[in-house]
Amino acid sequence: MRFSIFFFSSNDALGEGERYRLVLDAARLGDECGFHAVWTPERHFHNFGGIFPSPAVLSAALATATSRIQLRAGSVVLPLHHPASVAEAWSVVDNLSGGRVGLAFASGYSPTDFLLAPDSYADRNRLLDEKVDVVRRLWRGESVAFSDGKQDRVEIRLHPPPVQRELPVWITCGGASVDKFAATGALGVNVLTALFVQTVSDLQQRIAAYRRARVEAGHGGNGQVTLMLHTYLDESVEAARAKVQKPFTEYLRSSVEVWAKGFKRLEEVPPHRREDMLAFAFERYFRTSALFGSARSSIPFVEQLAHSGVDEIACLVDFGLEPQAVMASLRRVIELRDRLHSEP
């Protein structure tokens, strides 16, 4: 099992000098301790994840601050952008990092984000597929035709050429649909997923569908399944619970505000029941859907995930804990990894 660091939601409440400190410190620690990758998201126009409007710009900084760790976007909201712009920006990062770039692509969900590309919202799922193909072709050095400023067709190639000949690609599969996993398998690219709306046993079935679809489409290799998991490890399960209960509950509250818009069932919960819902959701994450506990207590869960077909656990760390706690927890993830690998 590979372990990575995943940023998801850091807000911009911290002062100017502090906003990116945790991202930089965690990336450097990850680089030294052998974490596999550091993932940063793309978010727009909201306090939730407010420090991440541009994962390419941020990853360019990480490229020069690190030397080994993979630098990945989770996820680039591709329908918001011209595919040539995305390929250009990340080719710069691939050059600066000596070929350490990987990109997860997502279709996007927030209508507000689409003020960047208003015509793309309705058709975002189809546009995602089309644009992924274009980015991959540009990355390989193919010439691709676009309409120019005079509406003439013009063929272009990517500059600068990237270091990696093939762009490592993930598709973000939220988990609401099996079909998305199978379609991703058929494309022959990797999967980025989470346990927000699916259980581990759902995920196991979906990974199986992904791998079957890969084989049926004739792709070699197994593909990679990356699972983002909220992570905090302490000395004991009790210590971890005491540490995360309050910040994680607040984080769930703010994520509900972001994600729940439009989910009728959530909106129908009466206000006096919302606290109860958060309490239930906290327990669900703590007991079944997050890496909360100690290095020792987490081993069975990680083994279950490995058995389910997960290749990489991307430790989601920025849900409201103070930076020192995140750094201490990341060191315990290394302890967990070493325990796993030292077992017979």
Partner 1 sequence: MSTDTSSAQSPRDVRDIETWLIGHIANELKREGRSIDPTEPFVSLGLDSVSAVTITGELEQWLGIRVSPTVPWDYPTIRELAIHLVAELERAQ
Residues that bind partner 1 (CB under 8 A): 199, 201, 265-266, 268-269, 273, 276-277, 279-284, 287-288
Q: Where are the beta strands (DSSP E) in the chain?
A: 2-6, 37-40, 70-77, 101-106, 144-147, 153-156, 169-172, 190-194, 225-234, 291-294, 312-316
Between residues 133 and 283, which has the closer beta carbon with respect to partner 1? 283
Between residues 164 and 245, which has the closer beta carbon with respect to partner 1? 245
CA-CA distance, 102 to 107, in Å (whole number)? 17
Residue 18 makes CB contacts below 8 A (sequence gap 6+) with none
Between residues 171 and 203, which has the closer beta carbon with respect to partner 1? 203
Tell me which residue of 295, 300, 289, 319 sits closest to 227, measured CA to CA: 289
Residue 143 makes CB contacts below 8 A (sequence gap 6+) with 155, 156, 157
Tell me how far, at minimum, the Cβ of 241 lies from partner 1, in Å.
12
CB 253 within 8 A of CB 278: yes
Tell me how far, at minimum, the Cβ of 254 lies from partner 1, in Å.
16
Tell me how far, at minimum, the Cβ of 279 lies from partner 1, in Å.
5
Tell me how far, at minimum, the Cβ of 268 lies from partner 1, in Å.
8
Between residues 96 and 277, which has the closer beta carbon with respect to partner 1? 277
Tell me how far, at minimum, the Cβ of 274 lies from partner 1, in Å.
9
Between residues 153 and 265, which has the closer beta carbon with respect to partner 1? 265
Between residues 32 and 276, which has the closer beta carbon with respect to partner 1? 276
Q: State the Rg of the chain over Cα.
A: 20
Tell me how far, at minimum, the Cβ of 155 lies from partner 1, in Å.
50
Q: What tokens were used for 83?
A: 């595919």
Tell me how far, at minimum, the Cβ of 190 lies from partner 1, in Å.
28
Helix, strand, coil % in the chain, rounded to nearest 5: 50, 15, 35
Between residues 7 and 248, which has the closer beta carbon with respect to partner 1? 248
Tell me how far, at minimum, the Cβ of 171 lies from partner 1, in Å.
25
Between residues 67 and 199, which has the closer beta carbon with respect to partner 1? 199
Between residues 165 and 287, which has the closer beta carbon with respect to partner 1? 287
CB 42 within 8 A of CB 73: yes
- Where do the H-state alpha helices sit in 140-236? 178-187, 200-216
Tell me how far, at minimum, the Cβ of 278 lies from partner 1, in Å.
8
- Mapped onto helix, strand or coil, the DSSP state of residue 170 is strand
CB 327 within 8 A of CB 26: yes
Residue 220 makes CB contacts below 8 A (sequence gap 6+) with none
Q: Scanning the structure block, which residue is given the tokens 């989601």?
A: 316
